[in-house]
Amino acid sequence: MSTPHDYFPVIIQVIIAATFVVGALGAAAWLGPKRAGKHKDESFECGIEQTGNARAPFSVKYFLIAILFVLFDVEIIFLYPWAVNFKALGWFGLMEMLVFLSFVMAGFFYVIKKGALKWE
């Protein structure tokens, strides 16, 4: 049974982390540059000069590729714990992983078939 005394190290760590965050933000505000001007106050977007209306349509291909990368990357991360416990899981674990990989590969081939990874 845990007592409130057991949580003392966690509370200390939270206090230290919060103090560091507040201290770092305060130091940045106090010591940071305070030069204002027309160029400094402009919104910055990838270093490209602003032209036209911000509501103009644009290609979302880059974001689609990024989301697909994160999706497949997160799915592949599940392979590591399985590989570490491969012997302990036995044949049942192998069959589960084959089913999982078949779903991942089905999604991957679907994305390829739809042409989502073709950069034009």
Q: Which two tokens stand for residue 80?
A: 């590591």
Query: Along the 120 residues of the chain, how does pLDDT read in single tens digits?
Result: 678 788 899 999 999 999 999 999 999 999 988 877 777 667 665 666 667 776 777 677 778 888 888 888 888 888 888 888 888 989 999 999 899 889 888 988 888 888 877 776
Domain positions in the chain are 4-114
96: CB partners within 8 A, 6+ apart: 89
Contact by Cβ (8 Å): 97, 103: no
Alpha carbon 73 to its chain's center: 10
The CATH number corresponding to 4-114 among 1.20.58.1610, 1.20.1260.10, 1.10.645.10, 3.30.200.20 equals 1.20.58.1610
